[in-house]
A and B are shown apart, each in its own frame.
Chain A
Amino acid sequence: EVQLVESGGGLVQPGGSLRLSCAASGFTFRTYNMNWVRQAPGKGLEWLSYISYSGTTIYYADSVKGRFTISRDNAKNSLYLQLHSLRTEDTAVYFCAREESGWYYLAYWGQGTLVTVSS
């Protein structure tokens, strides 16, 4: 069974940093491209970042480019999102999701981890 479990969320002050993790199991992690998506309270889904299976290709949404860094450790079956220079508007539930090859849809999602940016 495919499982994605996010962790690392919490309360952080504006300007602070946080590292989110996504632990993958039930599939060959090193062969799948991965994504991060977030959802602010009461708002819609916002795509944030993509990393290819090898880690060599990375994309970001403009809203987080230069502040967030996506990475992966295929030996540990783990995906990461490093968050820097956090703003109150970064408060959201952060989801990791597995991308399927061919049509690039997100078939599997984690349950999400909540990041709250507040003083």
Chain B
Amino acid sequence: DIQMTQSPSSLSASVGDRVTITCRASQSISNYLNWYHQKPGKAPKLLIYAASTLQSGVPSRFSGSGSGTDFTLTISSLQPEDFATYYCQQSYYNPRTFGQGTKLEIK
């Protein structure tokens, strides 16, 4: 199975900060990498698919990059509503696998 490793596991930042989360796959997954965020008690929400394509309705301060095994999610200027847990997921192989999550907290 493909292992997805996110770093950091947690992150403290302030409103207006630029933040980057990384995700590494245990083998190449081409561009089949998706990013979600989740707030407590809610379902996950898709932010980016195919490594860099912004889902409709997601603010442009979110961006994704990478291919193969190394990927990044960047939030250019943190807003209060962005404090949540972020997950990457590979959709190249079955079983699909998620990263362990990155909890983004207010500093």
Interface string of B76-100 (1 = CB under 8 A from A): 0000000001010101101111111
Stretch at the interface among B14-22, B43-51, B67-75: B43-51
Secondary structure at chain B's binding surface: helix, strand, loop or mixed? loop
B55 within 8 A of A: yes
| B50 / chain A contacts, CB cutoff of 8 Å | 103, 105
Count of chain A residues with a beta carbon within 8 Å of a chain B beta carbon: 23
| A104 / chain B contacts, CB cutoff of 8 Å | 32, 91-92, 96
Residue picked from B43, B50, B89, B95, most chain A C-beta under 10 Å: B43
| A61 / chain B contacts, CB cutoff of 8 Å | 95
| B96 / chain A contacts, CB cutoff of 8 Å | 35, 47, 50, 104
From B31, B44, B49, B94, contact of A50 by CB (8 A): B94
A109 vs B31: C-alpha distance when bound (angstroms)? 22
Give the size category of B's interface with A.
20 to 34
| B89 / chain A contacts, CB cutoff of 8 Å | 45, 47, 105-106
Instruction: Pick the 8 closest A-B CB pairs, nearest first.
Output: A104-B91, A105-B49, A109-B43, A44-B101, A59-B94, A105-B34, A47-B96, A45-B98
Other than the given A44-B99, A104-B96, 6 more pairs (CB < 8 A) read A45-B44, A46-B98, A62-B95, A103-B34, A105-B34, A105-B50
Interface residues of B (CB under 8 A from A): 1, 31-32, 34, 36, 38, 42-46, 49-50, 53, 55, 85, 87, 89, 91-92, 94-101
